[in-house]
Structure 1
Amino acid sequence: MTTFVLVPGFWLGAWAWDAVVAGLRESGHDALALTPLGVGEREAHTGVSTEDQVDDVVARLREQDEPVVLVGHSGAGPVVVAAAERARDEVSALVLVDTGPLPGDVSHLDFVGPERAAHVRRVLADNAGRYPMPSREELGPITAGIDETTFAAVHARSAPVPEGVPCTTARRAERGDPTLPKIVVACIFTAADVREGAAAGAPGFAEMTGPEWSIVELPTGHWPMFSEPRALTDVLVKAGRAGPTAGR
């Protein structure tokens, strides 16, 4: 049996993983889904930064009895990457769902480019320092694979992200650990995109060239836990088999 710890991206809580958690448990594994610090039912925590979210995930990892497969989606990617570096003995494999690592001096807003960053800052200013989930029209093609009813339910249940998360960085180790298996589930980008981005030195792709990295393409929208939960579960189960055989 493998234990999975799952962290959703922006605007989502632990509930976003319900179908995947059910699938993992049906496959004989255990799963713990986390709501990020400062979001949803944990909104009472004010002034939350990316570093605070990393510390929170690390604390939860250290509560586990055995090393886990740590899974981060979208905006949680940089959080789980940093958490795995700080709690290496508690992590057997790292899975990044449609996301990647960021250098320690690059925030989410740095990554998305100046035009998008300016838009997000305007939204934050208009919403008292919180970043609500955009409409489907604003999100565009990345919502592929999710029917209108499901998207409406997700949007209604979504919660704003505190300003400090998209605007701050996560401290990183000087070097990544090559003994930790790292799997990227690529949904709105491809393995070829990763190679091209890495060759260009793009943040988020540049690290994904070491032998510990593997890329699994799952062509769908940016939220495969809603559009392809069974396929995503299968990828995670395979990652769980690979994890304990590598590293420590």
Structure 2
Amino acid sequence: MTVFILVAGAFTGPYVWRDTAARLTAEGAEVRTVALTGLGGRPAGPDEAVDLETHIADVLAVIDSAAVESGGDIVLVGHDYGIHPALGAADRRARSVARVVHLDSGMPQDGVPALAAVPDQRLREELAESGGGQAGELPPPARDAWPRWGSTTGLSEAALDGLTALAAPQPLGTLLQPLRLTGAVAAVPVTGVLCTGNGPGIELVQLMVDLGEPAIQALADPRVTFFELPTGHWPMLSCPAELAEVLTEAAAGRGHRLTAAGTAEPPPHLRPFLLDVPERPRERTGNTDLYLPEGPGPHPAVVFVHGGPVPAEARPTPRDWPTLTGYARYVAGHGAVAATLDHRLHAFTDYERAAEDVAAAVEQVRADPRVDADRIALWFFSGGGPLTADWLAAPPAWLRCLAANYPILAPLPSWGVADARFHPVRAVARAGKLPIVLVRAGREMAEIAATVEEFLTAAERCGADVEVIDVPEGRHGFETLGPTDEARDAVRRAVEAVLARLTA
């Protein structure tokens, strides 16, 4: 028999598991929910400091009880904040736990407090800078403030009402006290359940592994499996039956396994560009490369902006990736200067400094005497999409076109990006007559496709000038994922559309 031990997240208690637990029990499993002190468990005493260690002790008590009374395989499930006490307990009872399930949660590390995983960036900063110690409580969210803690996609009005009514204050010590791990938990198999309405799905996580992100390389271990649920951050309330099915599959060791970086040679982003493009003269200055057309100029210019986040240690750096060099050579072969650059988008919190890098590179390109400073196009890719917001909100007269391939056009809820500056869906209303060319992948990741559709809806509402070039069978990064006539044609049409607007 499988024994599921369920640990709820911030502000919530055992009640959130009611329907999922019933499903699991009906399928023959034993289910135990952990009542954390102050969050559905015993109330804290008047002088008691409730911290992460308090909650780890709560989970340990349930593990020890289950190990003695049932003898089944223990699958420990931590949702949201709940993964922190769950992981702390599993580290101390590694021989008793058969699997740890991270349910739409982060990857806690030794010495790092749960505060680091709070999605609300502004709240993280406020608590980190408060210097008020670990005493006190964080009030639960108001009904309309739950999205600051995770997407409410899929929740009914009644479920949201119940979540709000039963929420309890979160003891600050549980968020501020660092998690301490001995490393024993590394031997326990792991499953990640990704809620794609709240954050990245499996394909995007694989992309981050391919890019060499050091913090997530462990996710490609064969003992780690993954599932997706097309819902927001509270699947036990929005789709309890589907969650129960996934947990049952996880307990059996099933699920998707990632491919480790370096096992597929080369990784997708370093495979050849889909067009056979001749070499062009290239000049490198600082973080920016220029690809030059024939003739003295001045020529119009296209500045290509890569996506991300990209690990700072990644080699080659993005400006040498086949997609960017391929587009740059192709554009230069058609009479325009092409520029590629490396910017510092190494984490979701780096958009401000990445925007500074892009703006500086654009001015460097415009200052080159071989460039017509009044005819510039900017072309963004993937996670570089949020960087379009500055240019959409206040397009300069010299910006003749803005293009974007398979872009992320609104921050994903799990990013915790509080700055509304990098939100193209909101910015497009101020784009005026700026021509926009959007290349849309038909087999796009669901979480990214949703932001594109939201952007197009907003663009239609305000009458923005958007041309969509569809690649029906294209995937995210289709230029290096296998050449097809459809994809080649889309690249040619996109370049033609951008250059036409530069020379109009």
Q: Same fold (TM over 0.5)?
A: yes
What SS does the corresponding residue of 2:100 show, helix, strand or coil? strand
For 2:235, which of 216, 224, 234 is the aligned residue?
A: 224
- 1:177 aligns to 2:186 (yes or no): yes
Moved more, 51-60 or 143-152: 51-60
Q: CA deviation at 1:28?
A: 1.1
Give the corresponding residue for 2:54: 52
- In structure 2, the CA distance between the partners of 1:86 and 1:224, relative to structure 1 (3 Å rule), is same
Verify the 8 A CA contact 1:182 1:214 in the aligned structure 2. Answer: yes
* Further displaced range: 137-146 or 105-114: 105-114
Query: Is 2:168 aligned against 1:166?
Result: no
Whether the 8 Å contact between 1:101 and 1:207 is mirrored in structure 2 is no
Partner Cα distance (2:130, 2:22) in 1? 35
DSSP-derived class of the 1:217 partner: strand
Q: Deviation of residue 183 (structure 1)?
A: 0.5
1:86 aligns with 92
* Among candidates 119, 122, 125, match of residue 115 of structure 1: 122
Are the equivalent residues in 2 in contact too, given 1:54–1:170 (CA < 8 A)?
no
Select which of 135, 145, 165 maps to 2:154. 145
Deviation at 1:31, TM superposition (A): 0.3
CA shift at 1:59, angstroms? 2.2
CA spacing shift, 1:227–1:40, aligned 2, 3 Å:
same
Structure 1 position 41, deviation (Å): 4.2
| One of 138, 151, 166 as aligned partner of 1:131 | 138
Among residues 186, 189, 192, which one is paired with 2:194 in the alignment?
186
Name the CA distance, whole Å, in 2 between partners of 1:229 and 1:104. Answer: 31
Alignment TM-score, normalising by the size of structure 2? 0.44
The SS at the match of 2:220 is: coil
Change (3 A) 1:41 1:80: closer
Query: Are the structure 2 counterparts of residues 174 and 237 from structure 1 closer, same or farther at C-alpha, using a change threshold of 3 Å?
Result: closer
**1:175 shift after superposition:** 5.8
Matching of residue 200 in structure 1 with residue 213 in structure 2: yes
Structure 2 spans left out of the alignment, 5+ residues: 255-504
In the aligned structure 2, how far is the partner of 1:226 from the partner of 1:195? 28
- Secondary structure of the corresponding residue to residue 138 of structure 1: helix
8 Å Cα contact 2:38-2:168 kept in structure 1: no
Q: Work out the CA distance in 1 between the residues paired with 2:218 and 2:161.
A: 35
Secondary structure of 1:52 counterpart: helix
Name the counterpart of 1:98.
104
Unaligned regions of 5+ residues in structure 1, if any?
Answer: 244-248
TM-score of the two chains, using structure 1 as the length reference: 0.85
Letter in 2 for 1:62: D
Shift of 1:241: 2.4
Aligned-residue Cα RMSD (Å) equals 2.5
| 8 Å CA contact retained: 2:20, 2:240 | yes
Using a 3 Å threshold, how does the CA distance of structure 1 residues 150 and 110 change in structure 2: closer, same or farther? closer
**What corresponds to 2:220 in structure 1?**
209
Q: Contact 1:40–1:158 (CA<8 Å) still a contact in 2?
A: no
Higher RCO (CA 8 Å, separation ≥ 6 residues): 1
Whether the aligned pair in 2 keeps the contact of 1:57 and 1:80 (CA below 8 Å) is yes
CA deviation vs aligned residue, 1:153-188 (integer Å, no higher than 9, x gap): 11101111111011112211236434x221111002
The alpha-carbon deviation at position 207 of structure 1 amounts to 3.9
Q: Distance in 1 between matches of 2:203 and 2:28?
A: 34
Deviation, structure 1 residue 239: 2.0
Q: Which moved more, 1:188-197 or 1:156-165?
A: 188-197
Quickly say closer, same or farther: Cα 1:123–1:235, change in 2 above 3 A. Answer: farther
Question: Which SS does the other structure have where 2:252 is aligned?
Answer: helix
> Identical aligned pairs, as a percentage?
29
Q: Which residue of 2 is the match for residue 25 of structure 1?
A: 25
